[in-house]
Amino acid sequence: MDSSQLAANGHDPIDDAHDSAASTRLTTALSLNSQLKSQLSTAQIALLTHRRARELAKEREEGDEDPRERERRLWERIQALRAEVDGQVGRKAVKDRVVEGLDNALLVSTHLRDTSLSAESSARQAALTALLNQRDNLSLELLRLRSDINKLALERLKLRKKLISLNRQNAAHTTTLLSSQTLPSSLLASLPPPLRAYYTKLQQDTSILTTRLSILRNVFQLLVHESGVPLALPSTFTDVAELLRPPRAGEDEEEEEEEELTPGKLVRLMLLAGDGSMDEADVPPPLRLHEGEGEAGWREKLPEDVRRELEQWERERERGGGGGKRRKVE
């Protein structure tokens, strides 16, 4: 074989001879192994038969049982031994077929390897190789994408848990902030009895509504957790940090004046709230107060616009008209 044929085939004749000799030795070793296994099975069967024959001879020498019973037991034993022999023969045949199949597979693989080494590369084989490489690359890319999807799912779960935790903290801060905005005891004691009862009723309604809102928030959070749908942030929300931040320089006096709650401002807030904030069964009794009832002259201490609003509200309450509507105070 010249150098051109050697380059075309891609292998050395010495290597081919070595591979052929190794394949022949392997085939011979497999055949010898099969023969040894067959001889071992035959020897085991003969040994078991000899042992059983000795046991039967010993039983005949020592036993004095009925010959018919012994014949029946011997016949059953013969049937069992025949079934066992048939099973051994079947298993031996299967083993022989398996060994033969392995030998044939080895011969076929050796022939295909030699043929593939001696065959010239074609455009079709090159295209097939390129397609196989592309399939492997796509499989690796799919595995990477699946790994990224799993990481994103874990990150999404962490963000959902963090969102639920932040919602709970916001609800707790809002509840604390609302509970801290209570009327001072001195100012509450200075109010007339009807206004004090009205204020107490408003506080009770606020507590009930706050409890219902907390229950609805908990149910909503459970639904969010069960559905697994990512939620967008609301367009408007209560900024608790802005409410709790300390006042800036120059804003102390203005905030103190705005936060100071006087009887006039309390009456103004109650008039602004109206009866729409409560049910019809929770409407307080109309305010029919005169200067002689309660603390003397408490109406005179109210601002003029607040006094007019209060009188208008009492007239509307007496008529049973639109006292519950919300009005704007100039």
Q: pLDDT tens digits, residue range 89-120? A: 888 888 888 888 888 888 887 877 777 666 55
Report pTM.
0.24
Q: Are 253 and 302 within 8 A, CB to CB?
A: no
Q: Which of 101, 120, 139 is the last residue of a domain?
A: 120
What is the model's pLDDT at position 291? 42
Q: Are residues 84 and 184 in the same domain?
A: no
What is the model's pLDDT at position 198? 80
Cα(241)–Cα(166) distance, rounded to whole angstroms?
13
Range picked from 218-232, 258-272, 316-330 for highest mean pLDDT = 218-232
Cα(276)–Cα(325) distance, rounded to whole angstroms?
7
Using pLDDT thresholds of 50, 70 and 90, give the confidence band for residue 230. low
What is the model's pLDDT at position 235? 46
120 φ/ψ angles, rounded to the nearest 5 degrees: -85, 145
Residue 199 maps to a domain: yes
Q: Are residues 186 and 276 in the same domain?
A: yes
Cα(97)–Cα(91) distance, rounded to whole angstroms?
10
Q: Are residues 176 and 281 in the same domain?
A: yes
Q: Are residues 18 and 164 in the same domain?
A: no
C-alpha 91, offset from chain centre = 51
Residue 237 predicted with pLDDT over 70: no
Pick the residue with more confidence: 128 or 251? Answer: 128
Q: Are residues 112 and 217 in the same domain?
A: no
Q: What is the mean pLDDT of the chain?
A: 71
Single out the residue of 278, 279, 258 nearest to residue 270, CA to CA.
Answer: 278
Q: Are residues 200 and 310 in the same domain?
A: yes
What is the model's pLDDT at position 272? 56
Residue 195 maps to a domain: yes
Residue 143 maps to a domain: no
Residue 53 maps to a domain: yes
Residue 165 maps to a domain: yes
| Total domains present in the chain | 2
Structure token digits, residue 187 = 């100012």
Structural domain boundaries enclosing 235: 158-245+254-324
Q: Which of 66, 93, 120 is the last residue of a domain?
A: 120
Q: Are residues 294 and 162 in the same domain?
A: yes
Residue 33 maps to a domain: yes
Structure token digits, residue 238 = 């209560």
What is the model's pLDDT at position 43? 92
Residue 144 maps to a domain: no
Q: Which of 120, 144, 174 is the last residue of a domain?
A: 120
Q: Are 286 and 318 within 8 A, CB to CB?
A: yes
12 φ/ψ angles, rounded to the nearest 5 degrees: -100, 140
Residue 83 maps to a domain: yes
Residue 226 predicted with pLDDT over 70: no
Q: Are residues 278 and 197 in the same domain?
A: yes
Rounded to the nearest 10°, the torsion over CA 253, 254, 258, 263 is 50
Q: Are residues 54 and 182 in the same domain?
A: no
Q: Are residues 116 and 162 in the same domain?
A: no
Q: Are residues 182 and 259 in the same domain?
A: yes
Single out the residue of 211, 330, 64, 137 nearest to residue 145, CA to CA.
Answer: 137
What is the model's pLDDT at position 282? 44
Q: Are 106 and 27 within 8 A, CB to CB?
A: yes
Q: Are residues 164 and 109 in the same domain?
A: no
Using pLDDT thresholds of 50, 70 and 90, give the confidence band for residue 63. low
Structure token digits, residue 174 = 């809002």
Cα(258)–Cα(240) distance, rounded to whole angstroms?
19
